[in-house]
């Protein structure tokens, strides 16, 4: 019986691996929304991110994956860079920036808005966009 190799090439490793790095509940304030009043002052938005990183598990080195600090900065820059009316557009812009700015196979971005003014009580609204590298 042959031994399998692990993350360092040792026992347990079976070939190419795609790792999903997940960040949940990243809070970034932004002046976004359909109503003009929503765009007058920043309100909290919550970002949930799923980032597919090719073969990052095999090296155990930061250079082989994404640095969470850089990911957070990217989301903050997109949010601060323009005002969005729709969560869908904001999620798409963040996903595009992540795929363009990092060595990712794909990025899935959910933007949640907890401060929603509706006639019925809603915990939050959200839009989710996934972008894959061509």
Active-site annotation, residues: 113
Instruction: Give CA 6 to chain center in angstroms.
Output: 27
Q: Provide the token pair at 57.
A: 């598990």
Query: Are 71 and 22 within 8 A, CB to CB?
Result: no
Query: Are 99 and 47 within 8 A, CB to CB?
Result: no
State the Cα angle at 122 between 108 and 117, rounded to 5°. 100
């Amino acid at each position: 019986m042959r031994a399998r190799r692990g993350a360092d090439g040792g026992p347990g490793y079976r070939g190419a691996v795609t790792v999903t790095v997940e960040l949940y509940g990243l809070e970034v304030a932004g002046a976004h929304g359909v109503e003009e009043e929503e765009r007058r002052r920043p309100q909290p938005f919550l970002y949930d991110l799923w980032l597919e990183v090719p073969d990052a598990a095999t090296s155990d080195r930061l250079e082989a994956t994404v640095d969470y600090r850089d990911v957070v900065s990217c989301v903050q820059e997109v949010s601060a860079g323009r005002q969005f009316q729709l969560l869908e557009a904001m999620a798409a812009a963040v996903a595009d920036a992540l795929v363009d700015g990092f060595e990712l196979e794909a990025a899935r971005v959910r933007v949640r808005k907890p401060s929603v003014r509706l006639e019925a009580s809603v915990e939050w609204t959200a839009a989710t966009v996934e972008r894959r590298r061509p």
